[in-house]
Structure 1
Amino acid sequence: MKPLSVLFAACFLTGALVSSPAVAMPDLVILVRHAERAAEPAGDPALTPAGEQRAQALAQALAGLRVNAIVTTPLRRARDTAAPLAKALGLTPQVVEARGAAHAAAVADAVRAQTGVVLVVGHSNTVPAVIAALGGPKLADLCETSFHHAFLLQPGIEPPRFAQFSYGAPSTAPQAGCL
């Protein structure tokens, strides 16, 4: 699936670069949920072996997209999902500490302060909220068993361009009411 997703994202990015706004704003924002997490410890679990493979798949899928900034939450599963790409690119992810209702706005502010291509690694309920905070469509939360979605958003134009693709192994079928 890697060649298709990279090709799709590259085509999307090419369009983004053609119509970039004059003010500082990312050309492209890529948003993903953290990869599969272990059950323990309950408060801040690491990734499972499948999650570690998905984090590697994310790094491979985004390798050619010139990601120049990464934003994560402070939770280990989000940081570990971003780690392979951050290491490959020599980047230090920006950790956004805000929680609750303020989280989406804080992440959106951190993203808007960047230029180029930004990766955001969040959670099942925060990724859709951040997309909406950046002007994208309002989406349902991601299912608890859904880890394969990657969302592309070009926030600097009206209306923002939005697309999605899958990466890594397929997740289990979604439940009703979530992606």
Structure 2
Amino acid sequence: MKPTIMAALAASLWTLASAASAQHVVLARHAEKADASRDPVLSEAGTLRAQALAATFGADGPDLVLVSPLQRTALTAAPTAAAFGAPVRAFALDGGVDAHVAAIVAEIAAQPEDAVILVVGHSNTVPLIARALGVEAADMPECEYDRLTRVDLTASVPHADVVRYGAATTC
């Protein structure tokens, strides 16, 4: 995608995101895949990472979990959703990455001001969602699974902290 088109998309999504009342958004990439097929399950390492993701929330888990329709995102989110009784909503990819990101950001914007939302996405969507929420985010290499971005939307200017969780990944 051309940089000017991407900048325009980010600006329009930021306008939508700044109207968001959701207070905290946690962004994670799906955990390690079992194989390179189109819609794989998680590997053993991925299953362990999914459990580690749930543990990052402590006693206060998400109110809502947003995923793509691919099972690796739902499987990564499943331990967290189960531990906290959070509903899981899948957002289509068939309209393209831009439409997927816009739908996720719109759902975040529709949530109550005290909501905590977990978004489990992909290496190409997680940074775009972070940027659409108004925070800087580095591109994510295909080999990176341990990045967790916590976005705080409570201030007039969104703020993000990036932490690592589970077993370290090396790229």
- For Structure 1 versus Structure 2, the TM-score category normalised by the shorter chain is 0.7 to 0.9
Alignment-derived partner of residue 170 in structure 1: 168
Q: Is it true that 1:130 corresponds to 2:134 in the alignment?
A: no
User: How many aligned positions are there?
Assistant: 149
Give me the whole-angstrom Cα distance separating, in 1, the residues matched to 2:70 and 2:126: 14
Give me the whole-angstrom Cα distance separating, in 1, the residues matched to 2:35 and 2:74: 17
Q: Is it true that 1:43 corresponds to 2:38 in the alignment?
A: yes
Matched to 2:134, the amino acid is: G
**1:28 corresponds to which of 24, 29, 33:** 24
The 3 A distance-change label for structure 1 pair 170 and 90 is same
Q: Is it true that 1:112 corresponds to 2:109 in the alignment?
A: yes
**What whole-Å deviation, never above 9, does each CA across 1:49-78 have from its counterpart, x for those lacking one?**
000000000111113233111111110000
TM-score (norm. length: structure 2) = 0.81
**What whole-Å deviation, never above 9, does each CA across 1:105-148 have from its counterpart, x for those lacking one?**
111111111231100000001000001111111x2321111100
Q: Note if contact 1:73-1:96 (Cα within 8 Å) is conserved in structure 2.
A: yes
Give me the whole-angstrom Cα distance separating, in 1, the residues matched to 2:168 and 2:123: 16
Alignment-derived partner of residue 78 in structure 1: 73
Alignment of structure 1 residues 145-160 onto 2, 5 Å? 145-160=143-158
TM-score (norm. length: structure 1) = 0.78
Give me the whole-angstrom Cα distance separating, in 2, the residues matched to 1:71 and 1:107: 7
Relative to structure 2, which stretch is displaced further, 122-131 or 55-64?
55-64
Matched to 2:135, the amino acid is: G
% identity of equivalent residues: 38
